[in-house]
Amino acid sequence: MIKKTLLDIHRIVNGLNEPAFLGNTEIQGVTIDSRKIGKGNLFVPFKGERQDGHDFVEQAIQDGASAAFWEKDVPNPPDHLPIIVVEDTLTALQTLAKSYRNELNMKVIGITGSNGKTTTKDMTAAILGTVFKVHKTSGNYNNHLGLPLTILSMAPDTEAAVLEMGMSSRGEITFLSELARPDIAIITNIGESHLLDLGSREGIAEAKLEILDGLKENGILIYHGDEPLLSSRLKDPQGFSCCSFGRVESNDLFPISIEAGQTETRFEINTVKDTVFTIPVLGTHNVLNSLAAISAAMELGVPVPKIQEGLKNLELTAMRMEMVKGIKGETIINDAYNASPTSMKAAIELTAGISGFDHKYLVLGDMLELGPEEEDFHYKIGELIDPASISKVYTYGPLGKFIAEGAKQKFSEEHVSAYDNKSELIEDLKKTVSSNDLILFKASRGMQLEHVVQSLQSK
Ligand SMILES: CC(=O)N[C@H]1[C@@H](OP(=O)(O)OP(=O)(O)OC[C@H]2O[C@@H](n3ccc(=O)[nH]c3=O)[C@H](O)[C@@H]2O)O[C@H](CO)[C@@H](O)[C@@H]1O[C@H](C)C(=O)N[C@@H](C)C(=O)N[C@H](CCC(=O)N[C@@H](CCC[C@@H](N)C(=O)O)C(=O)O)C(=O)O
Ligand SMILES: Nc1ncnc2c1ncn2[C@@H]1O[C@H](COP(=O)(O)OP(=O)(O)OP(=O)(O)O)[C@@H](O)[C@H]1O
Ligand SMILES: C[C@@H](N)C(=O)N[C@H](C)C(=O)O
């Protein structure tokens, strides 16, 4: 984490108050929540939807913070405390993060894309961690606030930083990339996430390609080469090089064999002969995520055995194809972190292909932020589901009803149930599911479908 004197911080963020009295106190670490103060922290208050962090500055310092920012328009600054008055606390935080990033001598890998950012981040960090001191985005801290906090929490001797960059509107990735200045940029795929803001998949592709705006000179872009919206734009890169990955053999990196187990996937790739890579997660889409991670690792000279070791020992962030057990012994795929049509299709395809269970059920919820075509997107997901491989389809939420309507084109009425109420859905599942059944849960973050998973894991 960052360690710096208040005088230096005052200079970096263009503090508005008199710095003389700040002295040479050194802060270590930054937090935005007074309930999580670490000794010596700089506390950065924000006005939120429910509360104003400025109300907790005094308490934060009493609890061990060395100093705090104070936004200039907030009345009654506690002049008796070590505060740095700033124009805007978010801008000050971001400026401090950018300054700290530029002090550190490390390789930065920036990851964006519609789906797979967090998974690819975890994979990349797991591989690089076998040979480097690595710092990675914690959870999903991937936006204008999360990325600066991630950078400020980095140890000064970090050798490789794996940073997730999320967005929902144009210009956001440019900002994040110019802040992080990656040596390697990864675009995992172009799906439909955030269509509401971006209007089209072309718009999504343009927004993801903003990651080039901060890519270092002679940096490398690793991208999903099966996506025409990307490959068509990257035929003649200027000032950076490219490496494509995908299923199609025209890519620089592609799998030559994929073998799915019950809880892991084994695959070989075109550039490394007679070598099997194993990932402790299912799904062809996760093989593709691994290819992006492998490509970045090879760029940084990680030897193949270390790549194999890193992937094999991977620990994924929760609720991404997470396999758990229910109270009856049923197998649950908790893929409930988020959902868009691309990721929903990938998860359904995966579940349909798994064997060894008496029944296989899908519990699918709303996919949010898809814009005016949202009902059609949901209906088309329902139409995709094959009764030959799926026993019953459950849906949750107002848009989930359209998945149910699409599924009824192939399923009989009694094998499709649409719910708006989690309790009724849980009751039905508890009555229906048996020990040798498999259930997939998937919906957008806003649906919090994990609450249903948790109910099946308790009496
Ligand atoms: C500023 C802040 O902390 N926001 C978080 C806070 O929001 P809320 O407004 O409810 O805060 P409060 O009103 O409760 O409190 C205000 C502040 O006061 C502090 N405080 C409060 C009480 C107290 O006793 N002491 C205090 O110090 C408090 O800490 C506040 O700072 O709480 C919400 C619920 O937990 C958080 O969700 C909210 O976090 C915001 C949304 C945020 O951006 N957090 C980042 C750190 C982050 O990275 N979060 C990620 C999710 C990022 C994300 O959604 N990414 C998108 C892509 C990017 C889209 C982009 N356009 C965008 O806008 O984000 C994706 O699809 O991945 C995460 O949490 O996982
Ligand atoms: N390459 C991929 N292609 C399609 N779907 C994917 C891919 N990788 C992951 N997914 C699916 O997307 C979901 C989210 O995965 P992950 O959290 O890694 O992506 P993310 O881009 O960080 O998501 P978000 O933007 O919602 O934070 C997973 O549950 C998985 O089902
Ligand atoms: C908050 C935003 N990044 C996100 O994850 N949106 C999804 C669609 C949701 O909120 O469910």
Task: Please write the tens of the pLDDT for every residue from 349-400.
Answer: 999 999 999 999 999 999 999 999 999 999 999 999 999 999 999 999 999 9
- Residue 432 annotated in ligand binding: no
Backbone angles phi, psi at 267, to 5 degrees: -150, 160
Q: How far is the CA of 90 from the centre of ligand 3 (A)?
A: 21
- Residue 421 annotated in ligand binding: no
105-136 pLDDT, tens per residue? 999 999 999 999 999 999 999 999 999 999 99
pLDDT at 24: 83
Backbone angles phi, psi at 258, to 5 degrees: -135, 125
> Would you call 43 helix, strand, or coil by DSSP?
strand
Judge if the beta carbon of residue 32 lies within 6 A of ligand 1.
yes
Helix (H) or strand (E) holding 301: none
Confidence of residue 23 (pLDDT cuts 50, 70, 90): confident
Place of tokens 């911080």: 9
Q: How far is the CA of 113 from the centre of ligand 3 (A)?
A: 14
Distances (CA, A) of 253 to 267, 294, 313, 315: 12, 9, 22, 23
- Residue 53 annotated in ligand binding: no
Which protein residue has the closest C-alpha to ligand 1 atom 27? 33
398-407 pLDDT, tens per residue? 999 999 999 9
Taking a C-beta distance cutoff of 8 angstroms, is the pair 110, 177 a contact? Answer: yes
Instruction: Fill in the amino acid letter for 353.
Output: G
Taking a C-beta distance cutoff of 8 angstroms, is the pair 288, 116 a contact? Answer: yes
Domains defined for the chain, CATH in brackets: 3-89 (3.40.1390.10), 104-312 (3.40.1190.10), 322-456 (3.90.190.20)
* Mean pLDDT of all residues in 129-147: 97
* Mean pLDDT of all residues in 34-61: 97
pLDDT at 19: 85
What is the residue-averaged pLDDT of the chain? Answer: 96
- Residue 263 pLDDT > 90, yes or no? no
Confidence of residue 27 (pLDDT cuts 50, 70, 90): very high
Among 140, 142, 136, 138, which Cα is nearest to 109's? Answer: 136
- Residue 188 pLDDT > 80, yes or no? yes
Which protein residue has the closest C-alpha to ligand 3 atom 8? 368
Confidence of residue 452 (pLDDT cuts 50, 70, 90): very high
Helix (H) or strand (E) holding 419: strand 416-419
pLDDT at 261: 87
- Residue 345 pLDDT > 90, yes or no? yes
Distances (CA, A) of 385 to 281, 393, 432: 22, 8, 20
The Cα–Cα gap between 204 and 194 comes to: 8
Q: At what angle do helices 304-312 and 284-299 cross, to 10 degrees?
A: 140
Taking a C-beta distance cutoff of 8 angstroms, is the pair 37, 63 a contact? Answer: yes
- Residue 22 pLDDT > 90, yes or no? no
- Residue 216 pLDDT > 90, yes or no? yes
User: Within a 13 Å sphere around the CA of 397, how many CA atoms are in the beta-carbon half?
Assistant: 21
The Cα–Cα gap between 413 and 299 comes to: 53
| β-pairing verdict for 184-187 and 219-224 | parallel
Indicate the pTM of the whole model: 0.94
pLDDT at 193: 86
The Cα–Cα gap between 438 and 326 comes to: 10
pLDDT at 372: 94
Cα 20 versus chain centre, distance: 42
Judge if the beta carbon of residue 115 lies within 6 A of ligand 2.
yes
DSSP 102: H
Beta pairing partners, 52: 47
The Cα–Cα gap between 183 and 203 comes to: 25
Judge if the beta carbon of residue 147 lies within 6 A of ligand 2.
no
pLDDT at 196: 87
Instruction: Fill in the amino acid letter for 302.
Output: V
pLDDT at 169: 92
Q: How far is the CA of 115 from the centre of ligand 2 (A)?
A: 4
Judge if the beta carbon of residue 262 lies within 6 A of ligand 1.
no
Query: How many CB atoms neighbour CB 31 within 10 A?
Result: 20
* Mean pLDDT of all residues in 67-72: 98
pLDDT at 94: 98
Convert 330-365 to b/e letters by CB count within 10 Å (16 or more is b): bbbbbbbbbbbbbbbebbbebbbebeebeebbbbbb
pLDDT at 103: 97
ipTM over 0.90: yes
Taking a C-beta distance cutoff of 8 angstroms, is the pair 131, 306 a contact? Answer: yes
Provide the token pair at 248: 């199609």
The Cα–Cα gap between 164 and 242 comes to: 19
* Mean pLDDT of all residues in 283-308: 97
pLDDT at 166: 96
The best mutation among 368, 374, 447, 451 to test binding of ligand 3, ranked by most ligand atoms within 8 Å of the C-beta, falls on 368
